[in-house]
Amino acid sequence: MTTREDQQAVERLEKAVSAAEHALIEFEIAVETFRVEVENFSRLHHQRLGPVYARLDELDAQIAEAVAARSGTEEDARAAREARERAMPMPDVDELFGRPAPEGPDDGAPAAPEPPRRVRPSREAQRLYRELARRAHPDLAQDTAEQERRSTFIARVNEAYGHGDEQRLRELAQEWEAGPPAAPTAAGEDGAAGGEGPGTGPEDRVEVLYARLEWLAARQESLAAFRAELEESAVGRMLRLAPDEPDGLIAEIAEQLLAQVAEKEARLAGLLAEPGH
């Protein structure tokens, strides 16, 4: 027979599990939003600044070659060869300044994925994403089929959020609303026990709840390690420089790089204008 004390112990554990589940979801939302910013920054940095970095490498190679041609020393010749090896093919003017390149023949290659619009999605996209993640996150489900359904759905939510697609997020919210009812969580839909079920006593329920708490703690620890990796990555460290406006950081870096391009072009022009060239 279940005593009042046993039932109270189960209720306290269910509340602890419910609190831990919700805390984990909030932490996962924070980690995923940061992961999106890191990935978007990487893609936009490569798309917008890659040609400028290539131009700098090419200028370094040309400067080293001009110096080697003037000095005739083996040391300068070796430095020129190394600089040339580092240089990528020089981007054309259209690519360098972001103008659309002429269309070439269709070679049948798959189209490149559409780049994100911004490093950090809009406030509305953030709001829609957080609401969907809180309602549909797979970590809230115990049933395997329900976990799979939620995982598939959240993957689509993450993709839409990564692109800052507010309309797609609204459509997904409507889809979730119209879908089948969600299965109960470990602690019940609203932290309630959800019934012990036939043949299940308080001791069994306590064991299940303790196992759930252990899993939630391990999941939180895993996410914390992943978050630390993101923060210590090259992009993560760059994002620390502009935590409030990461999109402005790309523009700032671009301005600095273009100033370096102008400086190197002036140096190369000076070397080529000297006698012997």
Whether the predicted pLDDT of 182 surpasses 60: no
Tell me the pLDDT tens digit for each residue of 89-140.
Answer: 655 545 545 555 555 445 555 555 677 878 999 999 999 999 999 999 998 8
Identify which of 91, 80, 81 has the alpha carbon closest to the alpha carbon of residue 56.
91
Tell me the pLDDT tens digit for each residue of 139-154.
Answer: 888 788 999 999 999 9
Helix 4-71 to helix 144-162 angle, to the nearest 10 degrees? 40
Q: pTM of this prediction?
A: 0.73
Q: Give me the residue label for tokens 């690519």.
A: 95
Between CA 177 and CA 135 the distance in angstroms is 10
Q: In terms of residues, how long is the chain?
A: 277
